[in-house]
Structure 1
Amino acid sequence: MRGSVTTTSVTGHRVGTVAAVVAVLAVLVGALAGPERQRLGPQDAGDPALADRVRAAAGPIGGLRSLAVAEVTPTTVTTAGLGPADAAAPFEIGSVTKTFTAALFADAATRGEVRPDERLDRVLGELAGTPAGGVTLGAIAQHRSGLPPLGATAATGALAARAFNGNPYLSTTTAQLIDDARSAPVDPQQPPTYSNFGVTLLGTALVRAAGAADYPALVRDRITGPLGMTATTFAATDAQIPPDAVPGHLDNGRPAPRWSGEGYLPAGSSTFSTAGDLARWAQAQLTGVAPGTAALTPTAQDDPGTSIGWIWVTSTATGADGARHPFVWHNGGTGGFRSMLALDREAGRAVVVLGDTTAGVEPVAAALLFGTPPSEDAPDPLVWVPVGIAALFSLLALRRAVRADARLPIADGLLTAAFGLVLLWNRGPWASAGGWVWGLVLAPAAAALAVAVLRGRDLPTVPPRRAVTAWGGLVVSVLLLAAAVWAG
């Protein structure tokens, strides 16, 4: 009996030692090869003084990789690039595209092609007799139409894209967009609601009213062509994505999915442009050369500090001088990019900021335009939720590996821990933390695997009296892990 106790103690000591060594190695693996913390690259291009100011403004902001920036006056354009990209690199600009749609709307009204008080079904006859057909073009341009943020097809795509890092707009053609509008609800009591669906219907109506082939053709004819914006393009299909476009990035540093698609082009689903091209656009606003500059003028009040023109938003900011400064702006975002275009019309200045991650670039624009000192926002505590979930699953896997009486529950625990680790890899706080966090969470799961290998030889496969429960748990864990891997 005494010899049996001694043997058991030695075996337990051996298992514990191996588990501890494996856990330490797991932390090192996480630190060296785990998810990449997003950092602004050290490279600078363009104007050195501007690059220095941008770097100072971006310093407190986590999650940046590359920035392309332009400072604009009526007579000058100064550009800089930080990180791997520069001012000539094409970025996805997202909803900054809506400023094109805004200008086209104001310009079409000047040309007499449409009126702000005109109903949507007067231009898109397919919507006659539908709630969407009764909203006015002006209400759409003020985000006061009562239309939902997305049409039914894109809303379904957005749910799938959020879960699986996909493209929410790929499946919506122009024909499908109009079909979605036929059955779309309209809520007259809805407060001002940002609607990609509405702006896209507005852009589609403007194409129809102008007799243009499509939205890109109308933009080329009236905006980018006359202004020499040769680097601004649209990707209705993957084949139209510029081959030299900057890759966007997810929070963990992996490449983001490209967005392309025909239906939501007027809202910015897949527009590519450069800081240099958007500087031309901003300068044309300051000088009045751009078509449809009437869109900049506020037409409705959102709250005491914010109003809206035709899509363009007017806000006020406190500058370094302590004074309040009105400015006109629109920002944008896609799966792996953020953008900002802001105009201080009183001072005759504008800034363009483009980034290739999901970190907001608005603070950089404010610092450049008004000298607003950059500040580091408190991190959103929700970004640490995946850390807690993954750590819990990892610790439970270790507990089960040590105490379970069969292989199947141990395998279930390891698969659940793998699900948590994949979830953390894809959704962790990688703007402010590095792979060492993932390594710490990996450590108990790796130790659990080592224990399972050492103990498993002496255990039955299925626990007595709990076979159905054990197999059911294993199936659920497999499905969760498969979904997490697919989502990545």
Structure 2
Amino acid sequence: METQWRGDTELVRAASRVFRSTGAAAVAVITPQGESTATLGTDHQATFEIGSISKPLTGMLYRDATERGLVQPTTALRDLLPLEGHGEVGSVSLGSLAIHRSGLPRLPPGMHPLRRTVDFWIRGQNPYGETLADLLDQTRTVRVGAPRPRYSNLGFQLLGHAVARGAGTTYERLLQEVLGEGFSTPARAGDLGPSDLTGFSRFGRPLPAWVGEGLAPAGGVRATIGTMRGFLRSILDGSARGLSALEPVSKFSPRVGIGAGWITLEFRGRAITWHNGSTGGFSSWIGLDRDAGVGVVVLSAVHGSVDRQGFRLLTEFTATRGGLA
């Protein structure tokens, strides 16, 4: 595999300083002066799993749907999904799901997280893979807790599929219609093509793809670096739909705000809107300094956080090309 970064010179230098990964990776930066892309061990046509960056995408679909009058923040899950006989979960509102304040657990009880983790690391099995019907069936015994901040993959899975039902379509079709055709949500391993990268553990072990219809809105989206760069551009130039999802409307913790899926915090004196992602064999990060007009996306086909690299690149390019001294 190619071990040298390739692409725009300034970004290649910056990426070479902050990355020590030996796996495939790609970075895109947008500033008021232009756009830059760099790749390592891959090309611009390769698709990466973006993990939980799927959640802010889902948040934008939700906000776009509310702005079009297709759903409301007070709309209950049972109004959109077949949840008859599923107890408390049907009464959960879309608005509470979008800010991780629904009272739902991180994962549905039927997932048996420990067993699935063992199956994944020991046997190489995909820990997800449920259809939407499977996912809904897993919610039958869910108990809804207090409406306090609690990060929930289950919540965003249900939110995305509910919003798609409200729009009269599937999640993938809604995602492509609203945010761009470059995004994909493979439901089965057989849906993957030659451009879909294989992810690796930090020790170099190839790992199975995280695919599944149920997973898509919370962590099952794939994209190329070009798709992510275009998505960043649309946010910064104001042309993206559902942009209100980036505006914090609630506290997620004392120093962290949350919009619809998007997280906001102060980093080195700057207001940063961001999210990260991690699957079995991939890591990702997206962040924007909206006041400076700078955005960064980092995609890696190796499991392990790239948050440090993302924040560092955003800080560097904000200082040098974001109009700041």
TM-score, with length taken from structure 1: 0.61
Shift of 1:155: 3.7
* 1:238 alignment counterpart: 189
When residues 155 and 127 of structure 1 are mapped into structure 2, their CA distance, relative to the original with a 3 A threshold, is farther
Are 1:265 and 2:210 counterparts? Answer: no
How far residue 127 of structure 1 moved from its aligned partner, in angstroms, is 4.2
SS of structure 2 residue aligned to 1:285: helix
What SS is found at the alignment partner of 1:180?
Answer: helix
Q: Which residue of 2 aligns with 1:77?
A: 35
What amino acid is aligned across from residue 215 of structure 1 in structure 2? Y
Amino acid in the other structure paired with 2:272: F
Structure 2 residue runs without a partner (length 5+): 318-325
Does the 8 A contact of 1:73 with 1:283 survive in 2? no
After superposition, the Cα gap between the structure-2 partners of 1:64 and 1:316, relative to the gap in structure 1 and judged at 3 Å, is farther
Secondary structure, counterpart of 2:207 in structure 1: coil
Partner residue, 2:233: 283
CA distance in 2, matches of 1:280, 1:74: 14
Give the one of 194, 198, 201 matched to 1:250.
Answer: 201
Q: Secondary structure at the match of 1:131?
A: helix
CA distance in 2 between partners of 1:152 and 1:89 (Å): 35
Question: 2 CA distance for matches of 1:155 and 1:162?
Answer: 15
Shift of 1:218: 1.2
**Structure 1 residue 71 displacement after superposition:** 0.3
Helix, strand or coil for the counterpart of 1:233?
coil
Aligned partners of 1:234 and 1:240 also within 8 Å: no
User: Which of the pair is proportionally richer in helix?
Assistant: 1
Q: Distance in 1 between matches of 2:55 and 2:64?
A: 14
1:161 to 120, 136, 142: 120
Q: Does 1:296 align with 2:250?
A: no
Displacement of 1:288 in angstroms is 1.4
Establish whether residue 48 from structure 1 lines up as the match of residue 9 from structure 2. Answer: yes
1:163 to 1:184, Cα distance in 2 relative to 1, 3 A: farther
Matched, 1:306 2:256: yes
Other structure's SS at 2:281 match = coil
In the alignment, which of 128, 139, 144 is matched to residue 186 of structure 1? 144
Question: Scaled by the length of structure 2, what TM-score is found?
Answer: 0.91
1:371 maps to 316
Q: Please show how residues 297-336 of structure 1 align to structure 2 within 5 Å.
A: 297-318=247-268, 324-336=269-281
Give the drift of 1:247: 1.9
Query: 1:163 Cα deviation (Å)?
Result: 4.5
Question: Contact conserved, 1:74 with 1:286, CA < 8 A, in 2?
Answer: no
Where does 1:470-481 land on structure 2 (aligned, <5 Å)?
Answer: none
Question: Structure 2 vs 1, CA of residues 239 and 75 (structure 1 numbering), >3 Å: closer, same or farther?
Answer: farther
- CA distance in 2 between partners of 1:363 and 1:129 (Å): 41
Deviation at 1:129, TM superposition (A): 6.5
CA separation of 1:44/1:137 partners in 2, compared to 1, >3 Å: closer, same or farther?
same
Distance 1:275 1:96 in 2: 13
- 2:177 counterpart letter in structure 1: D
Does residue 347 of structure 1 match 2:292? yes
5 Å-filtered alignment, 1:408-447, equals none
8 A Cα contact 1:166 1:257, kept in partner: yes
Distance in 2 of aligned mates of 1:339 and 1:233: 16
SS in 1 for 2:197: coil
Matches of 2:43 and 2:144, distance apart in 1: 43
**Partner Cα separation in structure 2 for residue 255 and residue 210 of structure 1:** 37
Residues 365-392 of structure 1: per-residue CA shift (max 9 Å, x gap): 11111139xxxxxxxxxxxxxxxxxxxx
- Residue of structure 2 equivalent to 1:176: 134
Partner amino acid for 1:340? W
What are the Cα deviations for residues 45-104 of structure 1, in whole angstroms up to 9, with x where unaligned?
111221111111125xxx54232000013673210012x123432111111111221111
Contact 2:5-2:15 within 8 A present in 1 as well? no
Write out aligned runs for 1:80-91 (5 A): 80-82=38-40, 84-91=41-48
Note closer, same or farther for the CA distance 1:126–1:351 as it changes in structure 2 (3 Å cut).
same
Instruction: Provide, for residues 384-434 of structure 1, a one-character-per-residue CA deviation record: whole Å limited to 9, x for no partner.
Output: xxxxxxxxxxxxxxxxxxxxxxxxxxxxxxxxxxxxxxxxxxxxxxxxxxx
Counterpart selection for 1:124 from 77, 81, 85: 81
Aligned equivalents of 1:107, 1:186: Cα separation in 2: 27
Aligned length: 315
Q: Greater strand share, 1 or 2?
A: 2
Shift of 1:118: 2.1
Distance 1:219 1:106 in 2: 12
The amino acid of 2:244's aligned partner reads A
Q: SS at the partner of 2:155?
A: helix
Q: Which among 203, 210, 215 is matched to residue 171 of structure 2?
A: 215
SS at match of 2:200: coil
Higher relative CO (Cα under 8 Å, sequence separation at least 6) belongs to: 2
Q: Note the 1:30-49 alignment, pairs <5 A.
A: 42-49=3-10
Q: Deviations over 1:247-295 (max 9, x none)?
A: 21112212111121111111123x2211111011111111111110000
Cα distance in 1, alignment partners of residues 305 and 122 from structure 2: 21
- What's 1:65 paired with? 23
Distance 1:184 1:74 in 2: 47
Question: Using a 3 Å threshold, how does the CA distance of structure 1 residues 299 and 280 change in structure 2: closer, same or farther?
Answer: same
Question: Aligned-pair RMSD on alpha carbons?
Answer: 2.0
Instruction: Work out which of the two has the higher radius of gyration on C-alpha atoms and give 1 or 2.
Output: 1
